[in-house]
């Protein structure tokens, strides 16, 4: 008992309560990035030549012999005809020089744009539209590709047919297939396709056919594989003539767009703003796979009055950042913009086509030709 009393008598007072400060709430985790939208369906890749034809370690004459075998076997062509034709092909150093310095590799947008957005090219496009309104609008109605974009492609590629190229296509493809290792698989494949094309379109004379330094032909500058795969007989006369026959040219350019995913009545691009302080975003490619909310989160928004996709939940855009005449320019490229880049992979090319088409449309309407 005494022990208990002693224990009670000597007990220390309880400690004073200590205020507990609540830990600050952790910030909410960032929202996960929006998933990319599906890719635009594309046709199968065009065939390229095998290594036996394109490996620079193999002697040139051996590669040429392998090319003859490859082309003859793949496209069922008489090998002697291939040999006889190649014997008349000529290496051209000017072609190598031209392909290693394309204009847009050294020009910013402010300079590239001025090549195509000139009074002469715009007025020429308006006149071309007016002179060919009936077949153009017929193709537009059949395909959903506006006539002004068909005209703009011809305007950018060949100045409405005035400059379709001065190189023999045979020389261009021969030179690039056997003396430009970086892209030999593609160009040797195109050289083989040229022989197949001549088999299908016997009106084409391989020894006389003229085109660009890359081997593109006609008013729309189709490569041999594009000619074979996507050219159309626009007036059903039994042949596809993309050199000068406009019904075939118009139908073929429109078909190229359709095959690569053109969306009738869909927007092409929108001029955009970038929020102050936001970093520029450079997508990995030109696929219109970025959801618009994701681009808005990065600071990119269409300017007021600019077009947007009909269904932003399923249709996205890519971003194009360019050096314009008045400073940086920001653009959202939609599905149809991407389709134009399938004609030429350059983002500046596609924007030039769009702006030229818009100017032609406005001018043609004011001249009484309703696009």
Is residue 192 within 8 A of residue 111, CB to CB? The reply is no
Alpha carbon dihedral 207, 213, 219, 225, in 10-degree steps, equals 70
Q: What is the pLDDT of residues 144-188, one digit of tens each?
A: 999 999 999 999 999 999 999 999 999 999 999 999 999 999 999
Residue 278: helix, strand or coil by DSSP?
A: coil
Q: Distance between CA atoms of 173 and 224, rounded to whole angstroms?
A: 10
Least confident among 1-15, 136-150, 209-223: 1-15
pLDDT at 202 over 70: yes
Looking at every residue in the chain, the average pLDDT score rounds to 91
CATH code 1.10.8.350 for 51-104+167-239: yes
Q: Which residue spans of the chain are classified as CATH 1.10.8.350?
A: 51-104+167-239
Residue 321: helix, strand or coil by DSSP?
A: strand
Tokens of 258: 């359709």
| Strands of the sheet with 300-302, listed across from one edge | 300-302, 269-274, 327-333, 318-324
Is residue 281 within 8 A of residue 319, CB to CB? The reply is yes
CA neighbor of 185 nearest in space, from 51, 342, 343, 345: 51
| Length, in residues, of the chain | 371
- The catalytic site residues sit at 157
pLDDT at 2 over 50: no
Tokens of 328: 């940086």
Q: Distance between CA atoms of 325 and 116, rounded to whole angstroms?
A: 15
**The pLDDT value given to residue 314:** 85
Element spanning 322, H or E: strand 318-324
| First CA to last CA distance, the chain | 112
Q: Distance between CA atoms of 268 and 300, rounded to whole angstroms?
A: 16
Integer CA distances (angstroms), 57 to 37, 52, 179, in order: 42, 10, 12
Kindly tell me the sign of the dihedral angle through the C-alpha atoms of 250, 246, 116, 102.
positive
Tokens of 6: 């002693």
Q: pTM score > 0.85 for this model?
A: yes
Is residue 185 within 8 A of residue 54, CB to CB? The reply is yes
Burial 314-348 (b: 16+ CB within 10 A, else e): ebbbbbbbbeeeeeebbbbbbbbbbbbbbbbebbb
Q: How confident is the model at residue 1 (pLDDT cuts 50, 70, 90)?
A: very low
**The pLDDT value given to residue 23:** 53
Is residue 89 within 8 A of residue 170, CB to CB? The reply is yes
Tokens of 323: 């050096």
Tokens of 94: 């000017």
Q: Distance between CA atoms of 358 and 152, rounded to whole angstroms?
A: 9
Is residue 144 within 8 A of residue 266, CB to CB? The reply is no
Name the percent of the chain in helix, strand, coil, to the closest 5: 50, 10, 45
Q: What is the pLDDT of residues 302-340, one digit of tens each?
A: 999 999 998 888 899 999 999 999 999 999 999 999 999
Q: How confident is the model at residue 282 (pLDDT cuts 50, 70, 90)?
A: very high
């Amino acid at each position: 008992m005494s022990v208990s009393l002693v224990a009670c008598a000597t007990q220390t007072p309880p400690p004073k309560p200590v205020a507990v400060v609540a830990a600050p709430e952790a910030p909410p985790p960032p929202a996960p990035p929006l998933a990319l939208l599906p890719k635009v369906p594309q046709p199968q890749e065009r065939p390229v030549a095998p290594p036996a034809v394109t490996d620079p370690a193999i002697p040139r004459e051996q590669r040429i012999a392998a090319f003859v075998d490859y082309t003859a076997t793949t496209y069922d062509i008489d090998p002697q005809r291939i040999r006889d034709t190649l014997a008349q092909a000529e290496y051209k150093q000017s072609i190598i020089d031209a392909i290693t310095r394309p204009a847009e590799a050294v020009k910013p947008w402010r300079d590239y744009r001025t090549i195509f957005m000139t009074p002469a090219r715009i007025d020429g496009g308006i006149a071309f539209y007016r002179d060919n309104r009936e077949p153009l609008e017929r193709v537009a109605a059949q395909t959903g590709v506006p006539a002004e974009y068909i005209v703009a492609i011809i305007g950018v590629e060949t100045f409405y047919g005035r400059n379709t190229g001065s190189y023999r296509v045979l020389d261009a493809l021969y030179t690039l297939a056997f003396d430009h290792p970086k892209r030999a698989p593609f160009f040797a494949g195109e050289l083989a396709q040229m022989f197949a094309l001549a088999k299908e379109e016997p009106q084409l004379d391989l020894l006389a056919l003229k085109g660009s330094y890359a081997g593109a032909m006609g008013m729309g500058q189709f490569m041999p594989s594009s000619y074979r795969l996507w050219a159309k007989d626009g007036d059903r006369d039994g042949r596809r003539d993309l050199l000068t026959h406009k019904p075939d040219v118009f139908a073929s350019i429109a078909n190229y767009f359709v095959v690569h995913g053109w969306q009738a009545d869909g927007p092409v691009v929108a001029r955009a703003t970038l929020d102050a302080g936001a970093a520029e975003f450079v997508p990995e490619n030109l696929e219109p796979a970025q959801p618009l909310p994701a681009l808005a989160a990065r600071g990119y928004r269409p300017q007021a009055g600019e077009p947007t996709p009909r269904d932003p939940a399923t249709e996205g855009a890519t971003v194009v950042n360019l050096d314009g005449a008045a400073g940086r320019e920001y653009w959202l490229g939609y599905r149809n913009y991407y389709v134009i880049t399938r004609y030429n992979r350059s983002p500046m090319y596609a924007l030039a086509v769009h702006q030229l088409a818009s100017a032609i449309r406005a001018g043609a309407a004011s001249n009484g030709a309703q696009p």
